Amino acid sequence: MKTLQQLQEIRDRLKPMITERAEGAKVSAGQPRKSILVCGGTGCTSGNSKILHDNFISLLKEHGLQDEVKVIMTGCFGLCSKGPIAVVYPDGSFYTHLKPDDAKEIVEQHIIGGTPVERLLHAEKDIHGQLKSINDTDFYRSQRRVVLRNCGVIDPENIDEYLATDGYKAYEKAVTTMTQQQVIDEIKKSGLRGRGGAGFSTGMKWQFTHDAPGTEKYVACNADEGDPGAFMDRSLLEGDPHAVIEAMMIAGYAVGAEHGVIYVRAEYPIAVHRLEVAIGQAREYGILGDNVMGLGKKFDLELRLGAGAFVCGEETALLNSAEGKRGEPRQRPPFPAVKGLFGKPTLINNVETYGNITQIILNGADWFASVGTEKSKGTKVFALGGKLENVGLVEIPMGTTLRTIVEDIGGGCPNGKKFKAAQTGGPSGGCIPSSLIDTPIDYDNLMAIGSMMGSGGLIVMDEDNCMVDIAKFFLEFTVDESCGKCTPCRIGNKRLLEMLDKVTKGEATLEDLDKMEELCYYIKDNSLCGLGQTAPNPVLSTLRYFRDEYEAHCNGKCPAGVCKALVSYKVDPDKCIGCTICARNCPVKAISGTVKQTHTIDPKKCIKCGVCASKCPKGAISK
């Protein structure tokens, strides 16, 4: 067990090095030690960043530099579309699209020779032609990293590096200088709202659990992130697990709980491993256990692995699953704050919500509330996906416009395509059309335009996307993930999907669109839990903003040329040169014709795969 003084000595010893990484500046006395930080998030790991990391270590040993240069596997840097990524400090050279073999050139030319490898750098230049520092690039400039402050900066499997970022000082401050109610009041004053989707006041949730009768209480973390394309919570757990642990300790002190449970998806092996390592290190240091940090308080944590059911992201379904029962929602009331895990009062917040807690306690509620809008304080983490140049993980102040996210941070749609819509909130959210691109992103503005914040997935679509097909994609997901407990969700969404399928086949009428809308509102009003209540949102929002596309489908045409039943491929006789490339590449032999003669497509054989159009050198085949 480490004493408070020993913990502070670790902070003082390592803080200058961590500050260098965070700021990219030489702040320590003398020549600072070099570090190579390699992204160890799931995305870069899938691109062999672990092999890259090991290659750096082997090469440095080969040159006798293992004591001079430290190689660290970090969490996600955010710019996932440019991975694998490595950053060399203290100069902050930001290398992208790396292959394992690139380690040799970086070590020999940069580490030993002192000259960065220009061809591998993230080469964004200013108006004078000089390379921008990474914090000044378009992707990072508009961000403000509070929750993600340590991701890509520290080694998530080294508790000492977390301590060097003032780790566990927030808990020490809360226990030694604040009462339980003062901690809760500080969270209330901050204006922090739950980042899991509903946006309920975090402080009020803590208050309800604190006030609930009973001496045995629990603190739970919802890490069952299941939205398609969402990876915010996973990335925080992979890059900064101790921040979540410390926040749960603070929550436990505030509400009177001595035990915490983190419910995390088994499909997140890196996050699970780093949580296990972090919990083990915290116990070894006496930060978790019967006498936390020698301060006379008791708190410990355990992991519960989920099997990947989307409905278990709903807090009462999560509780059932954590208890070993079928993962389906409970009737509310009673709410978990009164009757939760094993029938005891339970506080449940998601990973990102906990990610804000230590900074609120350390810096004060006023500091946190100074960022964001009047009713949506602080920052929000988004997983940017879809048709963007820069796909990845971003953290922006609440109130940042969708335009800033899409055009500045995201770099706009590739290949000169026009931005069409953005889907926020995953299967529970709605589509925001290009006409509303200047909408400030916060809880209330999104609700007003028929979408929602959700946990933070943001998928961008361009002119080639069919909005009817997009609505169908999300509804298929929720139909498949419904637990089946209540009839409106189990049957209603299935019937809604059947109606939507008719639209994509050109078999629906305009009257069917009205019936779809009526059914959407019935499902929303009568479903038991949030999954069913929000499942119709993608359909309602696309009906609201893209009704012309639905009407075109009813008339037998898909404007984007996506819905196969409404697409047919034709050969332009004026452009066809009879090269036979299309016929040779057709997987079902639906194209006939001889050399130098116009070819024809048999519509009965054609499976509408589009290979012929993509292969034609003259653009003679079109929908």
Domain with CATH 1.20.1440.230 in the chain: 468-554
Q: Three-state DSSP class for 298?
A: coil
User: pLDDT tens for residues 382-406?
Assistant: 999 999 999 999 999 999 999 999 9
Longest alpha-carbon distance in the chain: 88
- Determine the average pLDDT of the residues in 250-279: 96
- Determine the average pLDDT of the residues in 28-41: 74
Q: Return the CATH fold of 159-369.
A: Rossmann fold (3.40.50)
- Determine the average pLDDT of the residues in 265-275: 95
Nearest Cα residue to 455 out of 380, 510, 385:
380
Domain with CATH 3.40.50.11540 in the chain: 159-369
Query: CATH number for the 468-554 domain, one of 1.20.1440.230, 3.30.1520.10, 1.10.4160.10, 1.10.150.120?
Result: 1.20.1440.230
DSSP 553-574: HHTT--TTS--GGG---EE-TT
Sign of CA dihedral 21, 25, 26, 27: negative
- Determine the average pLDDT of the residues in 302-331: 92
Q: Binning pLDDT at 50, 70 and 90, where does residue 27 land? A: very low
pLDDT at 17: 81
Strand-pair partners of 263: 222, 304
Residue 412 has pLDDT above 60, yes or no: yes
Mean pLDDT, the chain, as a whole number?
93
pLDDT at 22: 67
User: pLDDT tens for residues 331-384?
Assistant: 889 999 999 999 999 999 999 999 999 999 999 999 999 999 999 999 999 999
Q: Binning pLDDT at 50, 70 and 90, where does residue 477 land? A: very high
- Determine the average pLDDT of the residues in 101-127: 90
Degrees to nearest 5, angle at CA 430 with 427 and 432: 140
| Predicted structure pTM score | 0.92
Nearest Cα residue to 469 out of 556, 384, 534, 550:
550
Sign of CA dihedral 182, 371, 230, 120: negative
Nearest Cα residue to 364 out of 165, 153, 177:
177
Nearest Cα residue to 202 out of 210, 191, 211, 212:
191
Q: What is the DSSP letter of 114?
A: -
Residues 6 or more apart in contact with residue 280 via CB below 8 angstroms: none
Architecture of the domain defined by 33-134: 3-Layer(aba) Sandwich (3.40)
Residue 30 has pLDDT above 80, yes or no: no
pLDDT at 18: 85
Distance (Å, whole) CA 292 – CA 289:
6
Domain with CATH 3.40.30.10 in the chain: 33-134
Domain with CATH 3.30.70.20 in the chain: 568-622
Degrees to nearest 5, angle at CA 82 with 80 and 87: 95
- Classify 379-465 by CATH class: alpha beta
Q: What is the CATH number of domain 568-622?
A: 3.30.70.20
